[in-house]
């Protein structure tokens, strides 16, 4: 089985944050990176920039944690979605995400989660370095991507000289 997913190549990311701004503009009609569904984590001194986005896990912790079933997989796009009508704002999904890729709008309390722009991600279109791509992958490759994402914190610690 194959499907399209967002691929992040952190080595190509320049930290420009275009992805954050355009995502917020598309979804919230505000050019405010805090309202995006993708965020760039920065270690500026070391020149490390890591875009963080929903990994669309095989067994999503965000979905399991939601007491109202408001977080669910959209089987057309494979994105994890939030039914804002059912969401009670408890933020269980935010705390459950092992990647820190479920966000909350600080003004409204609304859960912000990447919906892959219904299969045509804006962030990919505006990324000037090609750090973001939208590619067809197998379920096995997707599992490897999630496994690789698990290693990011240790790699960053190593790059900035902290003990792992």
CATH number where 11 lies: 3.30.70.20
Alpha carbon distance 75, 132 (integer Å): 22
pLDDT at res. 153: 60
Which of 79-88, 102-111, 138-147 has the least mean pLDDT? 138-147
User: CA 76, CA 79: separation in Å to the nearest integer?
Assistant: 8
Q: Which long-range contacts (CB under 8 A, 24 or more apart) does 93-97 make?
A: 93/62, 93/63, 93/65, 93/66, 94/62, 95/65, 96/61, 96/62, 96/64, 96/65, 97/54, 97/61, 97/62
> Does a structural domain hold residue 63?
yes
Instruction: Domain of residue 63: give its range.
Output: 2-159
Buried b or exposed e, range 116-147, using 16+ CB within 10 angstroms = bbeeebbbbebbeeebbebeebeeeebeebbe
pLDDT of residue 164 exceeding 70, the answer is: no
Query: Which residue, chain included where needed, has tokens 């939030």?
Result: 82
Tell me which residue of 38, 46, 3, 43 sits closest to 22, measured CA to CA. 38
Question: Quick check: is 164 in a domain?
Answer: no
Residue 122 has pLDDT above 70, yes or no: yes
Q: Are 130 and 119 in contact (CB under 8 A)?
A: no
> pLDDT tens digits, residue range 52-89?
999 888 889 999 999 999 999 998 888 999 999 999 99
Q: How confident is the model at residue 43 (pLDDT cuts 50, 70, 90)?
A: confident
What is the number of domains present in the chain?
1
Does 105 map to a domain?
A: yes
> Residue 129: what pLDDT?
96
- Residue 159: pLDDT band (50, 70, 90) is low
pLDDT of residue 137 exceeding 70: yes
Residue-level pLDDT at 138? 74
Cβ pair 52, 40 in contact under 8 A: yes
For residue 79, tell me if it sits in a domain.
yes
The residue that leads in pLDDT, 137 or 65, is 65
- The pTM of the whole model exceeds 0.75: yes
In this predicted structure, what is the pLDDT of residue 57? 86
């Amino acid at each position: 089985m194959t499907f399209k997913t967002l691929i992040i190549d952190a080595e190509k990311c320049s930290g420009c944050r275009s992805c954050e701004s355009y995502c917020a503009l598309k979804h919230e009609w505000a050019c405010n990176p805090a309202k995006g569904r993708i965020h760039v984590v920065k270690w500026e001194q070391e020149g490390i920039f890591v875009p963080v986005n929903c990994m669309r896990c095989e067994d999503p912790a965000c979905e399991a944690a939601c007491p109202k079933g408001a977080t669910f997989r959209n089987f057309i796009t494979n994105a994890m979605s939030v039914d804002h009508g059912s969401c009670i704002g408890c933020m269980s999904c935010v705390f459950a995400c092992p990647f820190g890729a479920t966000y909350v709008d600080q003004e409204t309390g609304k859960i912000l989660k990447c919906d892959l722009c219904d299969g045509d991600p804006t962030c990919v279109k505006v990324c000037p370095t090609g750090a973001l791509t939208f590619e067809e992958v197998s379920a096995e490759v997707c599992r490897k991507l999630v496994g690789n994402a698990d290693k990011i914190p240790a790699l960053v610690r190593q790059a900035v000289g902290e003990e792992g």
